Structure 1
Amino acid sequence: MSQILIKRAKAEQLLSGEGWLSVQPRTFREEVLRRAVLLRFPPGEVVYRIEDEAGGIFGLVEGTVTVNTAPPDQAPQLIHIGKPGAWTGEGCFLTRSARRIELRTLSETWMMHLSLDQMDQMAAADPAATRYFAQILMASVEVLLRVIHDLQKPGADQRIASALSRSAAQGRTVPLSQSEIGLMSGTSRKQVNAALARFEAKGWVRADYRAVTVLDARGLAREAEGGV
C-alpha cells in the first residue's frame, strides 16, 4: 500500500474521531470524506488569504496552521493555532462572500479539503447538510469566546498559559516564537521569556528556539485558571 493511501486512511480515522466531523451523523460524515481530497502544504504556505474568492472547508489532519484576521482596514494578526480535527472555511458556504481570515502553515501540514461545489451538491441532495456545515461556525465562535475570555485574565502568566493551552495538547510541539506567543496573549516578549522559564522549571513545558512543547497540560491549565 502506498504512503499516500496510508496517510489518507489515517486522516479519515483522525477526522472521524476528533472535532466537528466526529459528531455528525455517520452517513454525512462518510459522504464528506468520500468527496474530500487530502492536500499537503509545505511550511510557510498560505492556504488562503483575506479577500480570496469564496471556497470550501479545510480540516486539519497533521501539522500546524495559524489563524490570522483583523478588521478590514488593518493588517491580519495571529489570533489562534489550529489543532488536528479542527475545520474552518465555512463562512463562504454560508454567506457566499470572500474569505475573512487568513490560514497559514507553520510546518509541513496535511489538510482534508471539501470544495464549495461539493458542499453545494451535498446541501442540494440533503437540506440538513447546511445545518451540519453551520456547526463549524458555532465551533469557531466558541474558540473566539475562549480567546476573548483568556485575554481578559489579569495576570500575564495566566494569559500566556492560556495561549499555550489553546495551541497545543499534551506532548505536542508548536513552532511559535516568543513574540508570537506574546501577540496571542497580549504580553511582551520579556514577559513570555520569563513565564516560559518558570513553566519549564515546573515541568509544564519545554522551550526551544521558536518552539514550545507541552509536557504537562493539566499543570499548564491550572496556571491558566490562576492556579485553581
Structure 2
Amino acid sequence: MGCIDMPASQDLYSFIRTSPWGRTLAAGDLDLVLSAAMARTYLPGESVVSTGGEANYWVGIMDGLVVQKVVSEKGEETSLTAACSGTWFGEGTLMKQGRWRYDAVVQREARVALIPLHIFQWLLDSSLAFNQFVARLLNARLGHFMELLAIGRLPGIDARVAHTLASLFDPYLYPNRSNLLPFSQSEIGLLAGVSRQRANAALKQLEADGLIEARRQGVRVIDVEGLRRR
C-alpha cells in the first residue's frame, strides 16, 4: 500500500504554526504556507524520499520515525540519522535544487508535513527570520554529521551507543525531544551501526552506569552529558 495523502487539517496547521520557524512568520506569510502545505501518512518500509528522486518538498515529521540511509553499489546499507516528531529535513538539497542523495525510510508509521519547493524558496527570498532558522539548522546538521563520523570511529560499542543517544538531543534538529527516546533496541542498533544484541548489551551497561533507564516505551536518558563523555 502506498503513501496516503491527507487533507489539510488542524493538526497539520498546528504543527507548522508551533514549529520554531513557523512562529517567526508574519500572519500573511504563515497563511500562504498553510494554504500550500500537505500531509501524508507513510507505512513502515515505505520511503518518504528516495535516492535520485527530485527534491520537490521540505519534509517535517509530525509523528513516527524515519531513518535516513544510503546504499552502496554493492548493496551495503548505512544508516545516517533518524528523523522523528518535530524534525525537518531536506533544506540543503532544496537549496541546491537537486535530487535526493539518500533514502528516508519509515521505521514506524509516520505522518509527514510537506512544504512545496516553491514555497520554501519564497520563504528564503522574503523572510530574514526563516533564513536565520535555516542557517542555524544547517549548522546544527553539519555538527551532527561530524559527530556521527566520530561515533563511527569509536572502538567501543558502549561508547558508540552512548554517543548515538546523545546525538538525538540537539535542540534545532530535534526540537520536541523529551528525555524519553521512543526507540526499540533494534532501532538504536540501526542508528549506532551495531546489531540488536550488541545494542542491548551496551544499553544494559549504560543503565548500570546510571546514564539511562530502560522502559517499555523506550529509553529514558538521565544524563545526556554523561553519555557524551563516554
Same fold flag (TM > 0.5) = yes
Secondary structure (helix, strand or coil) at the match of 2:39 reads strand
More displaced 10-residue stretch of structure 1: 197-206 or 42-51: 197-206
Residue 174 of structure 1 corresponds to 183
TM superposition shift of 1:149: 2.9
Note if 1:214 corresponds to 2:219: yes
Q: What TM-score, normalized by structure 2, do the two folds share?
A: 0.73
Counterparts of 1:21-32 in structure 2 under 5 Å?
21=21, 25-27=24-26, 30=30, 31-32=32-33
Distance 1:14 1:130 in 2: 14
Distance 1:5 1:79 in 2: 31
Counterparts of 1:63-102 in structure 2 under 5 Å?
63-69=64-70, 75-102=76-103
More displaced 10-residue stretch of structure 1: 111-120 or 161-170: 161-170
TM superposition shift of 1:164: 2.5
Distance 1:44 1:205 in 2: 29
Distance 1:14 1:205 in 2: 30
More displaced 10-residue stretch of structure 1: 81-90 or 132-141: 132-141
Structure 2 residue runs without a partner (length 5+): 1-6, 169-176
Residue 229 of structure 2 corresponds to 225
Counterparts of 1:189-200 in structure 2 under 5 Å?
189-200=196-207
Identical-pair percentage:
21
TM superposition shift of 1:112: 1.5
Counterparts of 1:100-119 in structure 2 under 5 Å?
100-119=101-120
Closer, same or farther in 2 for the Cα pair 1:183/1:5, shift >3 Å?
closer
TM superposition shift of 1:105: 1.3
Residue 15 of structure 2 corresponds to 11
Structure 1 residue runs without a partner (length 5+): none
Q: Alpha-carbon deviations, 1:3-54, whole Å to 9, x = none?
A: 97342244235424xxxx26x7433972544532232222222101111123
- Which of the pair is proportionally richer in strand? 2
Note if 1:48 corresponds to 2:49: yes
More displaced 10-residue stretch of structure 1: 50-59 or 182-191: 182-191
Counterparts of 1:125-140 in structure 2 under 5 Å?
126=126, 131-132=131-132, 134-135=134-135, 136-140=137-141
- Count of residues in correspondence between the two structures: 212
- Which of the pair is proportionally richer in helix? 1
Distance 2:56 2:73 in 1: 19
> 8 Å contact 1:122–1:129 — kept in the other structure?
no
Residue 150 of structure 1 corresponds to 151
Distance 1:108 1:55 in 2: 22
Residue 213 of structure 2 corresponds to 205
